[in-house]
Amino acid sequence: MAVDVFMPKMSDHMVSGEIAGWLAGEGDLVQEGQPIVEIVTDKVTAEIEAPASGILKGIRKGVKIGKHISVGETIAFIANEGEQVPVLPPLVQVEERSREGQAPGVQKGSDIKANQIADATPVAVQTAIKYGID
């Protein structure tokens, strides 16, 4: 049975990783633990290792160098000789996080004015009472 190669979550805040380069090509024989693709995240450049031994097959359409891939997305498969792999739809480009670290699609702005004090949440109020904070 074919084994998925997917974009791993390298940190708690990681939502996507960028493909930096393939270290093995379509049809190459790979060994479990062998680095097959290099990724770049907001904090680190890392190599994804083959999760199993076999032939690297079915590199997903849209998975290119410089492309941002969502965490958990299948990017390729490792299968045995003659084994068929699923054909997945092409990946759509993931928006890169903004320079300010804002998640994609989130609009910047606030309903609170500069000199206005925001209401505390019930949990914050209880914590302040518990520790005698005014």
The per-residue pLDDT for 52 is 94
pLDDT at 106 over 80: no
* CB-based contact 5:78 (threshold 8 Å): yes
The per-residue pLDDT for 47 is 94
The order of strands in the sheet holding 54-57 is 3-6, 74-79, 54-57, 29-30
The 10s digit of each residue's pLDDT in 34-92 is 999 999 988 889 999 999 999 999 888 888 898 899 999 999 999 998 888 888 877 76
Coil vs helix vs strand at 1: coil
Q: What percent of the chain has pLDDT over 70?
A: 80
CA-to-CA dists, residue 88 to 33, 61, 78, 122, angstroms:
24, 8, 14, 46
Give me the residue label for tokens 């092409």.
Answer: 90
Architecture of the 3-79 domain: Beta Barrel (2.40)
pLDDT at 129 over 90: no
Of 32 and 92, the structure prediction assigns the larger pLDDT to 32
The per-residue pLDDT for 125 is 78
Write the burial class of residue 58 (CB in 10 Å: 0-12 exposed, 13-18 middle, 19+ buried): buried
The per-residue pLDDT for 128 is 80
The per-residue pLDDT for 36 is 95
d(CA 3, CA 55): 10
pLDDT at 98 over 50: no
Write the burial class of residue 14 (CB in 10 Å: 0-12 exposed, 13-18 middle, 19+ buried): middle
